[in-house]
Amino acid sequence: MITLVLERRLKSLEDELLGFSWETIGRVDKSVKSFLDEDIYLARDIIEKTDEINKESYKIEHGCLKVLGLHQPLAKDLRLGAALLRTSIELERINNLSAYIARYAIDAGESDRTCYKPPHIQFMSQTVQDMLKDAVGALLNEDIQLLKRSTRSYVNLQDFYNQMFLEYDELTHGGSQTSLILVGRNLLSMGHHVMGMADRIAYSIVGKQVMHHKLFHNMLLR
């Protein structure tokens, strides 16, 4: 009986996290769209709804604390609770980064300077969305292969950013491409947050510590 109650509570948290992750993915897409299209109204809408959306994270966090405190789960139930908690927090941060991108969209829309928008931004946005889908899918389905697909995509994300930075860096001194680089940085940061989630999700699934720092070191040192 006690196990059934715990299982039901964990399932409920998983369902809430799934809903929250889809909202987050949608916001990443819309925030980049607002930047690319210089759609100030869409951008304002994203910013205004950030607090409301993030309340879901607090709800999931509170739910996880209740499970951990009242049920004292062990082994994979404990690891799952920890992974749900961490994932929820990282999704909240990604939502905040979407709001920053929307802010750059407003700045770009309101300024006189033209800003060429290369395809890299859209590629990066799509990569982040796919990473998120795969990471959350991996958590909910205990699918380590799906998680590997998510983390491998980080390399593509970094490559898109590097290419964009190298191609357009010479223009940033003029200020017209600064927002482009900043949006790119925010999308890269989103990738970092997905990698942070991935560590905890991997631990939840396989019960061993898997740190992705090597990936970062290899890229920074190449």
When binding is defined by CB under 8 A, the residue of 72, 111, 141, 218 that contacts other proteins is 72
When binding is defined by CB under 8 A, the residue of 52, 69, 74, 222 that contacts other proteins is 74
Rg (CA), the chain: 19
Kindly give, in sequence order, each residue whose CB lies less than 8 Å from that of residue 192, ignoring residues fewer than 6 positions away.
none
When binding is defined by CB under 8 A, the residue of 40, 42, 78, 210 that contacts other proteins is 78
When binding is defined by CB under 8 A, the residue of 114, 173, 174, 208 that contacts other proteins is 208
Minimum separation from the CB atom of position 89 to other proteins (A): 20
When binding is defined by CB under 8 A, the residue of 52, 69, 75, 114 that contacts other proteins is 75
Residue 68 binds other proteins (CB under 8 A): no
Residue 142 binds other proteins (CB under 8 A): no
Minimum separation from the CB atom of position 79 to other proteins (A): 7
Q: Are 88 and 57 in contact (CB under 8 A)?
A: yes
Residue 144 binds other proteins (CB under 8 A): no
For residue 141, the one-letter residue type is N
Q: Is 179 or 204 the residue whose CB approaches other proteins more closely?
A: 204
Minimum separation from the CB atom of position 74 to other proteins (A): 5
CB atoms within 10 A of CB 37: 13
When binding is defined by CB under 8 A, the residue of 13, 17, 25, 77 that contacts other proteins is 77
Residues 58, 85, 29, 35, CA torsion sign: positive
When binding is defined by CB under 8 A, the residue of 13, 28, 34, 73 that contacts other proteins is 73
Residue 220 binds other proteins (CB under 8 A): no
- Give the burial string for 131-150 (b: 16+ CB within 10 Å, else e): bbbbbbbbbbeeeeebbebb
- What's 119's DSSP letter? T
Cα–Cα distance for residue pair 159/111, rounded to 1 Å:
29
Part in contact with other proteins (CB under 8 A); list of ranges 73-81, 89-97, 106-114, 184-192: 73-81
Residues 188-207 contacting other proteins, CB under 8 A: 207
Q: Dihedral of the CA atoms 100, 102, 108, 110 (nearest 10)? A: -110
Three-class DSSP labels, 130-167: HHHHHHHHHHHHCCHHHHHHHHHHHHHHHHHHHHHHHH
Size of the site for other proteins (CB under 8 A): 13
The residues of the shown chain that bind other proteins, judged by CB under 8 A, are 2-3, 6, 72-79, 207-208
